[in-house]
Amino acid sequence: MRTIAELETAARRRLAPAHYDFYAGGAGEEETLRANEEAFRRRVLVPRVLRNVGKRDLAVELAGSPLSMPVLLSPTAFHRLAHPDGELATARAAARAGTVLVVSMAATTAIEDIVAAAREVTDDPALWFQLYLQPDREFTKAVICRAERAGVKALVVTVDSAVFGKRERDHRNGFLDLPPELSVENMRDDTGRVRDIEMPAELTWTDVEWLRTISGLPILLKGILHPSDARLAVEAGVSGLVVSNHGGRQLDSAVSTMDALPAVASAVDGAIPLILDGGVRRGTDVVKALALGASAVGIGRPALWGLAAAGTEGVTEVLEGLREEVDRAFALCGAADPAGLTAELVR
């Protein structure tokens, strides 16, 4: 089994340089991109022993979806740039691993086809749908209804993108749009035209309330870093939060997610589950995030590296590699299950 770093090297060899940069890059100086990984390296584990970890259970439940381990696939755009099977391959791998794939609104495959691919593997796959609320509310509603009809189990609203982050690698490479043979298939309107995704600068908490009136699905907010926003999210009745800085692709110089997590966890005080993403590359990273208050972590780039390197098999390699590392780290920290991971394990 290759490490995520090795899969990134393999992916880089296969990808067009501008596409590799689109996936790998962050905003501005890429300070936040680097900070996410560094925040894990800065923290060390202080393990407990003699705790009978002979039988270990990594499973968690989030917003009504069961996960076989506390690792899910965060939404990432444009999988067909990485591999011809695109999101179909990612969905098969997630279903095989028994975990959630959050399908991006910027997926290059129709949601109905993604769900069908996952259903080839398991009858009841856990697919969630990420969205940027669009200024045209009727269209937003139509996209949500379509995703619901297809069988998604939750909605993840990205709230860290009032405007698009400036990814300087993309500007240097002139990579500002998809190649003509690909499109964001879930942005087709009833005339068949594919609409551009607009970044929602005018969103407020009222829009979250509106969303709750039009969909009965669990709603999670992605891109929360401030404890005051976490408290407002609990008041708004959402089913979970993703502590995320969009993998360093939006506000450069934003706090790393691991540095943000303790204050958010304390603000939420267990009321709703927290998912952390950004910089998770090793099983020990997962253990650190869980010990400091996350219920699960999301991975973005690692799945893209697996996908580009070897399609479904590559994403499976990433997920099963992480599962093995997480299980080993649980045992060596003296935890038989996620509840056994507490803040005293991390310094």
Ligand X SMILES: Cc1cc2nc3c(=O)[nH]c(=O)nc-3n(C[C@H](O)[C@H](O)[C@H](O)COP(=O)(O)O)c2cc1C
70 scored as a contact of ligand X (CB under 6 A)? no
Compute the distance between CA of residue 96 and CA of residue 99 in angstroms, rounded to an integer: 8
8 Å CB contact between 192 and 40: no
8 Å CB contact between 296 and 67: yes
Tell me whether residue 167 is annotated as binding.
yes
131 scored as a contact of ligand X (CB under 6 A)? no
Compute the distance between CA of residue 150 and CA of residue 103 in angstroms, rounded to an integer: 12
* Residue 278 contact among ligand LXCWX6NK, ligand X, none, beta carbon within 5 to 8 Å by kind: ligand X
What sections of 196-333 are H helices per DSSP? 205-214, 227-235, 257-268, 283-291, 301-333
Phi, then psi, of 284 in degrees rounded to 5 = -65, -25
Closer residue to ligand LXCWX6NK in complex, CB, 246/282? 246
Closest separation in Å from C-beta 285 to ligand X: 10
279 scored as a contact of ligand X (CB under 6 A)? yes
340 scored as a contact of ligand X (CB under 6 A)? no
Q: Which of residues 166-205 bind ligand LXCWX6NK (CB under 6 A)?
A: 197
Tell me whether residue 293 is annotated as binding.
no
Identified binder of ligand LXCWX6NK from the candidate list 80, 92, 249, 288, rule CB under 6 A: 249
Tell me whether residue 240 is annotated as binding.
no
* Residue 74 contact among ligand LXCWX6NK, ligand X, none, beta carbon within 5 to 8 Å by kind: ligand X
Structure tokens at 120: 């080839």
Closest separation in Å from C-beta 197 to ligand LXCWX6NK: 4
Which residues sit opposite 224 in a β-bridge? 243
Closer residue to ligand X in complex, CB, 18/332? 18
Phi, then psi, of 132 in degrees rounded to 5 = -100, 120
Closest separation in Å from C-beta 137 to ligand X: 19
Residue type, 120: E
What sections of 189-277 are H helices per DSSP? 205-214, 227-235, 257-268
226 among known catalytic residues: no
Identified binder of ligand LXCWX6NK from the candidate list 92, 246, 288, 301, rule CB under 6 A: 246
8 Å CB contact between 183 and 156: no
Compute the distance between CA of residue 185 and CA of residue 197 in angstroms, rounded to an integer: 11
106 scored as a contact of ligand LXCWX6NK (CB under 6 A)? yes
Structure tokens at 310: 């070897």
Compute the distance between CA of residue 11 and CA of residue 19 in angstroms, rounded to an integer: 10
CA 113 and chain centroid, separation = 20
Spell out the residues 6+ positions from residue 1 whose beta carbon is closer than 8 angstroms to its own. 317, 320, 321, 324
* Residue 99 contact among ligand LXCWX6NK, ligand X, none, beta carbon within 5 to 8 Å by kind: none
Closer residue to ligand LXCWX6NK in complex, CB, 22/40? 22
CB atoms within 10 A of CB 128: 23
Closest separation in Å from C-beta 145 to ligand X: 20
Tell me whether residue 249 is annotated as binding.
yes
DSSP 3-state percent helix, strand, coil across the chain (nearest 5): 45, 15, 40
Q: Which of residues 60-99 bind ligand LXCWX6NK (CB under 6 A)?
A: 77
165 scored as a contact of ligand X (CB under 6 A)? no
Q: Which of 19, 79, 83, 246 is catalytic?
A: 246
Compute the distance between CA of residue 315 and CA of residue 304 in angstroms, rounded to an integer: 8
131 scored as a contact of ligand LXCWX6NK (CB under 6 A)? no
* Residue 308 contact among ligand X, ligand LXCWX6NK, none, beta carbon within 5 to 8 Å by kind: none
Tell me whether residue 340 is annotated as binding.
no
Please report, to the nearest 10 degrees, the dihedral formed by the alpha carbons of residues 113, 116, 117, 120 taken in order. Answer: -160
Residues in contact with ligand X by the rule CB under 6 A: 22-23, 36, 74-77, 104, 106, 130, 158, 222, 244, 246-247, 249, 277-280, 299-301
**Which chain residues interact with ligand LXCWX6NK by CB under 6 A?**
77, 106, 197, 246, 249
What are the catalytic residues? 246
Binding positions for FMN are 75-77, 104, 130, 158, 222, 244, 277-281, 300-301
